[in-house]
Structures are given as structure tokens and as C-alpha cells.
Amino acid sequence: MKLRYALSSLAVIILIFSSAYGVSIKDVTFKIANFGKVTFKHSTHLGKEGIKENCKTCHNALFNLRKKSRYTMADMEKGKSCGACHNGKRAFDIKDCIKCHKVADVTMKVKETGPVIFSHNKHLAAFKCENCHPTFFPLGARKPVSMAQMEKGKSCGACHNGKGAFALGECAKCHPTKDVTFKVKETGEVIFSHDLHAGMFKCGDCHTKLYLPSGKNKRITMAQMEAAQSCGACHNGKGAFALGECAKCHPTKDVTFKVKDTGDVIFSHNLHAGMFKCGDCHIKHYLPSGNNKRRTMAEMEAAQSCGACHDGKAAFTVKENCDRCHKM
């Protein structure tokens, strides 16, 4: 009798202590292979309508505290475990996967073009998880799929066919592009703008017919371009401006010649390029590198260097009009 009274008293004390100070109930984390972690929050559920701090709503009716059981999504769809409430009526449907399963952007390493980032959030705004998983993408490790396979409807190509979503041919929407800088010893850097060209042409017009996407392309000379290789395939005066319009790609600037006796002489590329073609002077009279032999006025009067044009016929003569070039 005394023992029964003591146990009853202990139960009352525990109940009073729990009511006064609360019982610490922690979150439960489930580790799911290939799908990250799912965290069940007791605090969130205990405050919901229909539960109202009543643990017996779930224990042991749905979850036996003495027996650990794992349930599949198929089990839940039949009303077991979380599926007893998460059926789209009492609570959100278990098919709203991202309400429990955390998703992140997926980065795919592509050797030739750089990483491609797949945004789960962007796609989930238009599609449901089951539209892709596991029909097109298993949740585990996957074998890389080539562009040729995508063009046959596999992987991303199932939707990105120009009907369900933008076509695979619009490469720059997934593959990052940037300006390409070519170092040219003689004339300085030449910058190729992907944005400018992608606005007028398709990626397939150049890749891989003219250029490998990896950037590991063989160096092409101007002579080879004039034979329709590389840039010369389009820059022929028909598809695009001709290669002879050098200043459109090669940077030009004013050239300053230091003359001790009369002061600096400034050669304006812009002024001369407005009247002549680059080939009229380069490389016949001047090497593009700037490593040209210094010419005297006597040599110019003999039709060398500037004197080739400044002879009084094509342009004012170097024999007179000194102040046209020398700041005296």
C-alpha cells in the first residue's frame, strides 16, 4: 500500500515538474541515402491543430517508441508513418518533396566549357519533382550524359527540345561564356567577344567546326585566315567585315617618336586609318611590332618610311611643311 502511494506521489511530482518547466523534446534527423537529411521538428508538430500538445496523437499510434521502423515513400503514400496526415487533406501532401527534403544547386563539371549549374529552385517553379525523378535522373550517382545523347531526348534533352523548354542549341543559357583574349606579340591583345557574336550567330556555327570548345585550338596565322580558316571563315567581307579592316580587332594607338632637336612627333593611327588601309603601310613600310629601324629625314625624302606617301602627291611632302609634324 505504501509502495503504491509512493509511486502515485512520484507520478504527480513528475507531472507537476513537466508542466512547470516543460519537457525537452529534440528534433529527429533521418539520414536518407542519395537524398540528404530530413529533419522532423517536434515543436512544429505539437502546435498544430488536431495535435495540441497531445503526444498520443502519433505515439504509439503511428510511431512506436519501443520499436524503430523505417518507412519508404511508397509506405507513406498508403497512409503509413508521415502519410497518415500528409495526404493533402490534413496536411500538405508528401509529394511536395521539398517541404521536407532540402534541395541545392547541382554543379556539373564540364571539361571543355567549364561548370554547368543546375538550379533546383528555378525548375521547381515550373515542374514537380516526379517530372524528373527518377524517370530521367536517379537520385544516386549518375553516369554523365553527352550532348549527343541529350539531343536524342535523354537527360536534360527530354524537356530542352525547343517545345517543353528552350532547345539545347541555345548553349550559352547553361554553359558559361566569356571574352577570349588572344595575345598577339606584334599588335597587342585581340579580344573576342562571345556576347557580341552569340547575338548574331548560333554556337554551332563556330563550334566545333572552326573552334574546339576547350580553347585548345591550333594557332592560326593571318595568311591562314585569309584562306578562310578560323575567323576568316566569316570575316571575308560577305558574312562579316573583311580581315583587311584590321583596327576592328587589333587595338591601335598614337605612336610617339622622340626627336631630340625638334621635339616629339605624334603619328595618329585614327587619322591615317580614316584615309588608308592598314595594308598600305604594314608590313611594306612598317612592321606591326613597332621594332622598326629609325629613319632619317634624308631617307624619308628618298621615299622610305613616311616619305613613301608624303611626297607631295599622295600627301604633303616631307621636304617642306615641317611644322605639320614637328611641334616647333
Looking up residue 63, the CATH number of its domain turns out to be 3.90.10.10
Q: Quote the CA–CA distance of 91 and 112 in Å, as a whole number.
A: 47
Give residue 234's pLDDT.
95
Average pLDDT of the residues in 87-94? 93
Q: Are residues 239 and 270 in the same domain?
A: no
CA 82/CA 90 separation, integer angstroms: 11
Q: Are residues 111 and 149 in the same domain?
A: yes
Domain count, the chain: 4
If phi > 0 it is left, if psi is from -120 to 50 it is alpha, else beta; for residue 228 that is: left
* Residue 107 in grid coordinates: 554543379
What pLDDT does residue 186 have?
81
Structural domain span for residue 126: 106-173
Q: Where a domain ends, among 133, 152, 173?
A: 173
Identify the residue with better confidence: 17 or 195: 195
10 in a domain, yes or no? no
The answer to whether residues 29 and 86 belong to one domain is yes
Q: Strands, E, within the chain: which ranges? A: 28-31, 37-40, 106-108, 116-118, 180-182, 190-192, 255-257, 265-267
Higher per-residue confidence, 247 vs 2: 247
Q: Are residues 167 and 112 in the same domain?
A: yes
- Domain identity same for 233 and 274: no
Residues 148 and 203 grouped into a single domain: no
Domain contains 113? yes
99, 118, 142 - which closes a domain = 99
- pLDDT tens digits, residue range 166-214? 999 889 899 988 899 999 888 889 999 999 998 898 888 999 889 988 7
- Answer yes or no: is 13 within a domain: no
> Within a domain: residue 308?
yes
Q: Taking phi first (over 0 means left), then psi (-120 to 50 degrees means alpha), and beta for anything else, what does residue 82 get?
A: alpha
Phi, psi for 190 (deg, rounded to 5): -115, 125
15 lies in some domain: no
Strand 190-192 to 255-257 pairing: unpaired
Report yes or no: 264 and 258 within 8 Å, Cβ to Cβ: yes
Asked if the model's pLDDT at residue 229 lies above 90, the reply is yes
* Sign of the torsion angle spanned by Cα atoms 202, 204, 210, 211: positive
In this structure, are 95 and 124 located in the same domain? no
Torsion of CA 71, 75, 79, 80, to 10 degrees: -30
Mean pLDDT, residues 298-302: 95
Inform me whether the pLDDT recorded for 247 exceeds 90: no
pLDDT for the residue numbered 19: 43
Using the 3D structure, point to which of 227, 248, 269 is the last residue of a domain.
248
Is the residue at 63 inside a domain?
A: yes
| pLDDT at residue 9 is higher than 90 | no
Of the chain, the percentage scoring pLDDT greater than 90 comes to: 47
Q: Is residue 12 part of a domain?
A: no
Same domain? For 63 and 87 the reply is: yes
Work out the number of other CB atoms within 10 angstroms of the CB of residue 132.
17
Residue 242 has pLDDT above 70, yes or no: yes
Residue 124 lies in a domain: yes
Report percent pLDDT > 70 for the chain. Answer: 92
pLDDT digits (tens, 9 = 90+) for 277-286: 888 998 889 9
Same domain (yes/no): 265, 318:
yes
What pLDDT score was predicted for residue 11?
39
Which residues have a Cβ under 8 Å from the Cβ of 214 and sit 6 or more positions away? 111, 112, 113
Q: What is the pLDDT of residue 15?
A: 38
* Banded pLDDT at 18 (limits 50, 70, 90): very low
